[in-house]
Amino acid sequence: MSNEWNRGLGEGYAGREQVCRAHRRGLGGGKWTLREEEPKFAPDRTCDVEHLKLELKIDLPRQTVDARATLTLAAAYGPFTGIVLDAVDLEILSVADGSGKTLRYSYLDRRLTVTWRAAVKERTDLVIDYRVVRPSEGLYFMGPTTWAPKATWQLWSQGEDEEARHWIPCHDAPHERMTTELIATVGANYTVISNGALISRKTRGKSSVWHFRESTPYPSYLITLVVGEFVQVAESWRSVPVEYYVEPGLEAEARRSFGRTPAMIEFFSERLDCPYPYEKYAQVTVRNFTFGGMENLSATTQTDNTLHDARAALDFSSDDLVAHELAHQWFGDLLTCESWAHAWLNEGFATYSEALWKEHSEGRDEFDYLMLQKAAEYMAEPYRRPIVSHRYAYPFQLFDAHLYPKGAWVLHMLRRRVGDELFWKSVRLYLKRHRGESVETLDLIRCFEQASGKSLQGFFHQWLHCPGHPDLEGSLAWDSATKCVTVALKQIQKLENGTPVYRLPLAFDARLEDGSVITRTFEMDQATQTFYLQLPSKPVWVAMDADGSILRTAKLSVPLEWSEAALTGKTRDARVLARIEAVRQAGAQSAYRAVALLARVLREDPFWGVQLEAAAALGRLQTPDALDALIAGLKVKHPKSRRGVVTALGAYTEPRAIEALRRFLEQPDQSYYVQMSALTSFGRAAGKAAVPALRAELKAAMKRKDWHDLIAQGAAIGLAATRDESVVDDLLALASQPGRYWGTRLNTYHALAELGAARPLLGRKIAEEMVRALDDPDLLLAQRAPGALVSLQQQSAIGALRRKAASSSNAHTRESCLMAAEELSTQASRSEAVDKLQSDFEKLRAEARELRERLDKMSAGRAPVGATTAAGRSAEASARDGRSSVTKRPAGRAGARGRTAPREG
């Protein structure tokens, strides 16, 4: 399963809502209560499911499936007399053995329990006839709507983590593996995609029968069924069919989005020394898919949102999504986590594989910057937990930024620790030894230790079994007397809930004037340490961890001239991460020299990511010179750099910034994203003055069919940023428009939430409209709308959220609503606590004022009539202006601590 955020889908808030399966921005409030849950482990098995045959008759308009599941069971653990299968909301019609003899069964509490009269000693078939009617999960029917009456029907399945049980009676856990057959009868106009090879397709009157067989055993959550009116774009890798399925008319978009798949298969097959292991590789795009993609074995389901036009391709690519799901065919499908507690073995490898493909196809700079983005994604998680955790209420909770980007970073740090050669040797051993098996983290550790000869238990313990990461703070300074760079560092992360003081190998590179670079590595294993880097001469610059070998934050104080040397001229550091660190160090200073340096970097740096970081730093500085640099930077060539510039300009409200944005918008940028960001920044910078222009832009954009409505989104978010109350109705009309792209609607709701939070009098009106989205027919919007309500901070929505949670049959919608209601309740309690503290403070301040006045009156009453202070004023006069009379000390007399300056009361 993959996310959409790094691929730019659902820009802004919608993207953040899809970071990964359970990573919900704006929900949870930093709370992570899974420590309170009882540990959970893989369930028992009384027998082994060797094969599953599904025979399905599908009626799309009625949203029903008449099904027969035949499970071949083997007495792998000794004779057995029963089996318990997961089955939710199925209409069980009959249960029999392979000879047709009826078997006893009970169907209670989401479990189907079947018993045999005599123990099964070898193997038997279990045949279950059942019906699926309008399922809430597992199978999703998408058809015509009031706003799209001509839409064709589609059906797609989604199994991860525990949704297969909603349409298949199965042992729904990742450690049970089986081969499968699927025989589906559908209307003759429909195409069926499923796991494995297509054995046959037969036409029977107005129906067609599709027969698939997958010969590699795999878990139930990877079973796929997709039905719809699709066209096929066919390619191949070696002799393996590579297929893309899209709706008619989208063939060009399919080639643009998926065309590098054969090259990716070749790359992973060669790098892993394990050729792609299945009969085919298919990718099918479906409407309203709830996630970025799902790695069903040999047949990945992708969101149709990844299909994009030529203009979007200027700064958007589907490669990360495609690489992620493809890598799962090895990591997750060929090898599968034993239980969800170890799901990082699936998702961490797949996420790191995105970066590996980028490194191979686009170079080291793109690789490093992507890893930096993934680190930021993890750092934004509002809580900290161990990656490997058996404590959860349900597996869905574990699919967060710890599992995905932090899991990827663990592998990256491991690669840096052992080196490329031993890293790939270890990974290949891991694949070869456990091919076709279920794996735990210990299996990976043993392979790495055996292949590398290194003891890695400590490494894995601190990064997988402890929460958090190191937060470093310190300084680097040159001492000409000793010819040393003194490195003073502290680990300042909170040591709570098991977060440790980390053991870190820190590499320092020092460039000398002769061009040579000296590298030293120090082991940091204490909270506070000082290291000394001995050098033959004064360094031009010094960089810490410039290769990005450690997941950490760092606030380092270094001389500005070091940053300048690392960023410009012949001494410029060739490494992107080193230059970005230097940009951030320079950005912490507001001196003219620092601004000039950042301006030069924005103009001249060869990599767009460094330019973007420089633009962001200039936006934070808020100086006239920084503004000049940003206005000049509007001419940078790379669209991602240009986007950074227009975004940074939104932080300025000076007329020059507003005029620059207005002129920039007169000629629309070639990039959707740049144009979107410019519209948003114009609203932030110009305020109410931008409303007429943004309204006109929004109206025009809604008449076009821009990719993902990005231009309309920019205008809408810009309107909200003006903080003008008059725009509320415009935005509500857009957000509530049926059939509009769900990301547009969600982003508009989030923008409204920010407006409502800034203008509380509008909040209740916005909340009343926003709660309607909880019942929206668009499942993607309904599942994510609770996050917008949290941002709105309207406790009046708590009741609606709880009612929706109680009535919804979809687990993800229920969870989102419950989490949002909990967070809003927490906000209310927090607000009440703040109000009470404020009230108590005001009461104490009033009491202190009253006491002071009483003391002043008492002091004034004791002073003799006509007595004067040292300043020559009478005590009575001093009391009148509220000050007690205190005699000055004689000038030059030392105080208790040797102070010579006089003190005055």
CB contact at 8 A, 61 and 858: no
* Structure-token pair, residue 730: 């415009």
Q: Which residue, 291, 348, 400, is CA-closest to 32? A: 400
Look up residue 519 and give its two tokens: 């590298």
Under-70 pLDDT residues of the chain: 3-35, 828, 830-838, 840, 860-905
Comparing CA positions, the residue from 297, 292, 338 lying closest to residue 319 is 292
Q: Sign of dihedral through CA atoms 270, 275, 279, 285?
A: negative
- Tell me which residue has tokens 């298919």: 282
Give the whole-angstrom CA distance, residue 295 versus residue 878.
Answer: 81
Confidence (pLDDT) at 3: 58
CB 325 within 8 A of CB 294: yes
- DSSP letter for each residue of 272-305: HT----SS-EEEEEETT-SSSEE--TTEEEEEGG
pLDDT at 840: 67
Residue with tokens 């004022």: 849
- DSSP assignment string, 513-526: TTS-EEEEEEEE-S
Alpha-carbon dihedral sign for residues 329, 331, 335, 338: negative
> Over the stretch 162-188, which tens digit does the pLDDT of each residue have?
999 999 999 999 999 999 999 999 999
Q: What are the C-alpha distances in Å from 442 to residues 119, 351, 457, 460, 631?
A: 36, 20, 9, 9, 54
DSSP bridge partners of 48: 74
- Pairing state of beta strands 48-59 and 64-74? antiparallel
Give residue 660's identity as a one-letter amino acid code: A
Summarised one tens digit per residue, pLDDT across range 743-785 is 999 999 999 999 999 988 899 999 999 999 999 988 889 999 9
Which pLDDT score is estimated for 23? Answer: 40
Nearest to 272 by CA among 432, 149, 133: 432
Phi, psi for residue 445 in degrees, rounded to 5: -60, -45
Q: How far apart are CA 556 and CA 899, in angstroms?
A: 35
- Spatial CA neighbour of 681 closest among 658, 656, 704: 658
Question: Which among 822, 754, 812 has a CA at the least distance from the CA of 780?
Answer: 812
Cα–Cα dist 592/574, whole Å: 25
Quick check: bond before 86 cis, omega within 30? no
Question: How far is it, in rounded angstroms, from Cα 95 to Cα 266?
Answer: 45
Residue pair 267/285 in contact by the 8 Å Cβ criterion: no
> What tokens were used for 514?
């002769």
User: Distance between CA 691 and CA 711 in Å, rounded?
Assistant: 15
What are the CA-CA distances from residue 69 to residues 109, 135, 431, 574 (Å)? 20, 17, 32, 59
CB atoms within 10 A of CB 253: 24
- β-pairing, 178-187 vs 197-204, is unpaired
- Does an H or E element contain 619, and which? helix 608-621
pLDDT at 819: 87
**Cα 862-864-869 angle, rounded to 5 deg:** 95
pLDDT at 834: 61
Output helix, strand, coil percentages for the chain, rounded to the nearest 5: 45, 25, 35
To the nearest 10°, report the CA torsion of 256, 259, 261, 264. Answer: -90
Compute the distance between CA of residue 567 and CA of residue 610 in angstroms, rounded to an integer.
Answer: 10
Q: What is the largest CA-CA distance in the chain?
A: 119
pLDDT of residue 475: 97
Give CA 754 to chain center in angstroms.
21
C-alpha distances out from residue 116 to 35, 91, 103, 165, 859, Å: 40, 21, 6, 22, 97
Model confidence pLDDT, tens digit, residues 369-380: 999 999 999 999
Helix or strand (DSSP H, E) at 200: strand 197-204
Instruction: Say what the pLDDT of residue 591 is.
Output: 86
- The tally of CA atoms less than 13 A away on the side-chain side of residue 461 is 9
Q: Considering only CA atoms, which of 408, 330, 420, 485 is closest in space to residue 20?
A: 408
Residue 181 in tokens? 């057959």
Rounded to the nearest 10°, the torsion over CA 597, 603, 605, 608 is 120
Say if strands 231-237 and 539-544 run parallel, antiparallel, or are unpaired. unpaired
For residues 173 and 178, what is the distance between their CA atoms, to the nearest angstrom?
12
Nearest C-alpha neighbor of 599 from the set 563, 568, 626: 626
Residue 713 neighbours by CB distance under 10 Å: 31
Q: Identify whether the C-beta of residue 833 lies closer than 8 Å to the C-beta of residue 849.
A: no
Cα 464 → chain centroid: 18
Cα-to-chain-centroid distance, residue 71: 38
